[in-house]
Amino acid sequence: MGDTIKYLLEEDQIPKYWYNIAADMPEAPPVLHPGTGQPIGPDDLAPLFPMELIMQEVSQEREIEIPEPVRDIYRQWRPTPLYRARRLEKELDTPAKIYYKYEGVSPTGSHKPNTAVPQAFYNKEAGVKNIATETGAGQWGSSLAFAGKIFGINVKVFMVKVSFQQKPYRKALMETFGAECIASPSDQTQSGKAILAEHPDSTGSLGIAISEAVEVAATNDDTKYALGSVLNHVLTHQTILGQEAMIQMDMAGDYPDILVGCTGGGSNFAGLCFPYIGAKLRGGPDVKVVAVEPAACPTLTRGEYAYDYGDTAHLAPMVKMHTLGSAFVPPGFHAGGLRYHGMASQISQLQEMGMLEAKAYHQNTCFEAGVQFARAEGITPAPEATHAVRGAIDEALKCKEEGVGKTILFNLCGHGHFDMQAYIDYFAGKLKDEDYDQDELAMALAGLPKVAAE
């Protein structure tokens, strides 16, 4: 056996069910209406989502069947490969075994189509003609553009302005798939106009872009909203990758001691980790779970576990989560997909349960790890994914120090082919390790809503 160790599955091994971790967790704190602060029901969400997705959002069923038309589209790139990073192991001279699941083989180069496809499918089944959404780095926006085109749905994407400017090629990809892409904050919505009035130079944030997309959906009968992370049903859809990884690790004859994923809203992290965490919750093997986030937007390591709005303009429901405050706008670092002020409610709850360890890194050390990985393994990670690479390498180096050969599995959630400007800036020494503004964070946290449910 040589250096390349790849574990592939047959097409008929694509899971037939998504795994819903809600079935194995304590009851979740209720979602609250942004206006009244009272718990909301499915009907309150109906202006934004088709009922099938709302039912998945509140489902307690452990298995949710993947519709055949969705599995059919998945087959274009799934099952994705799982690799053992033998050349990286040698480079690090570590006794650890490093495995990674690689989602960059999808048509848009990341894990995002795993949920874009079912979301577009359920909207189509409900007769929806238009979807509005937001995007950070553009991975979600281009994935929904891809999925929307397949199912004949028009897609409008509000893209965080700093990423819109950094990544014109992501916009071009969305347009190639026939979608419309607008820099956020924009003058197309009341939410956007309000931000621009106060901060004409706003670089935008996911919270602002969500407000704009939600507003468009809420004010147009023929338009629904879609979110690329954070929500329960999105995390559930991503478990397809973790379930595949479990089968592939079985093929490898290994079980991970340590799981590593990067966390923005939490969807790729959940995709890999939830099936393993669920097994542990049901009495299965222990596993250490490491969530790696950017130091400039440190939701899990510096945020409060509290009710907060999902968006800046307070149009989206309030959920209990680790949050930096919906008014918080992080600096414009390159991992645009990790710039959300909050964290998925389910992941936040798991952290409160002591099920995971969170770590925050600045971007230069992440790109250093990304380059080391690319040179060893031949795949250039997306800026978001470099956080997971950094986390995995640090765990492997700790194994070396301790002389123990643990098994590490991380999620390489996307390739960096659209993000090469970040690598150019890194090589040129131009990447700043910016911190968030302490005063701004304090103000944003002070502005958290007071709700009766707490």
Contact residues: a copy of itself, CB under 8 A: 2-4, 6, 8, 11, 68-69, 71-73, 75-76, 83, 87, 105, 107, 109, 146, 149-150, 168-169, 172-173, 175-178, 371, 374-375, 378-380, 417-418, 420-421, 423-424, 427
> Considering the complex, what minimum distance in angstroms separates the CB of residue 369 from a copy of itself?
12
Asked whether the CA dihedral 49, 52, 53, 57 is positive or negative, the reply is positive
- Please give the C-alpha separations between residue 289 and each of 127, 263, 320, 410, in angstroms, as whole numbers: 40, 12, 21, 10
Closest CA to 137 of 380, 328, 339: 339
> Considering the complex, what minimum distance in angstroms separates the CB of residue 403 from a copy of itself?
28
Cβ closer to a copy of itself: 199 or 375? 375
Cβ closer to a copy of itself: 147 or 289? 147
Cβ closer to a copy of itself: 30 or 67? 67
> Considering the complex, what minimum distance in angstroms separates the CB of residue 178 from a copy of itself?
6
Cβ closer to a copy of itself: 74 or 269? 74
> Considering the complex, what minimum distance in angstroms separates the CB of residue 6 from a copy of itself?
6
> Considering the complex, what minimum distance in angstroms separates the CB of residue 76 from a copy of itself?
5
Cβ closer to a copy of itself: 76 or 220? 76
Q: Encoding tokens for residue 115?
A: 């949920």
| Amino acid in the structure at residue 397 | L
Cβ closer to a copy of itself: 163 or 349? 163
> Considering the complex, what minimum distance in angstroms separates the CB of residue 180 from a copy of itself?
12
Which neighbouring-strand residues pair with 308?
319
Asked if residues 88 and 377 have their Cβ atoms less than 8 Å apart, the reply is: yes
Cβ closer to a copy of itself: 34 or 109? 109
Q: Encoding tokens for residue 437?
A: 């503004």
Place of tokens 């303009």: 313
- Rounded CA-CA distance 411/414 in Å is 9
> Considering the complex, what minimum distance in angstroms separates the CB of residue 147 from a copy of itself?
9
State the greatest distance between any 2 C-alpha atoms of the chain, in Å, as a whole number: 62
- Rounded CA-CA distance 172/185 in Å is 19
> Considering the complex, what minimum distance in angstroms separates the CB of residue 187 from a copy of itself?
22
Place of tokens 């001279």: 93
Closest CA to 153 of 202, 250, 224, 221: 224
Beta strand 223-226 pairing with 407-412: unpaired
Cβ closer to a copy of itself: 69 or 95? 69
Q: Encoding tokens for residue 301?
A: 């390591």
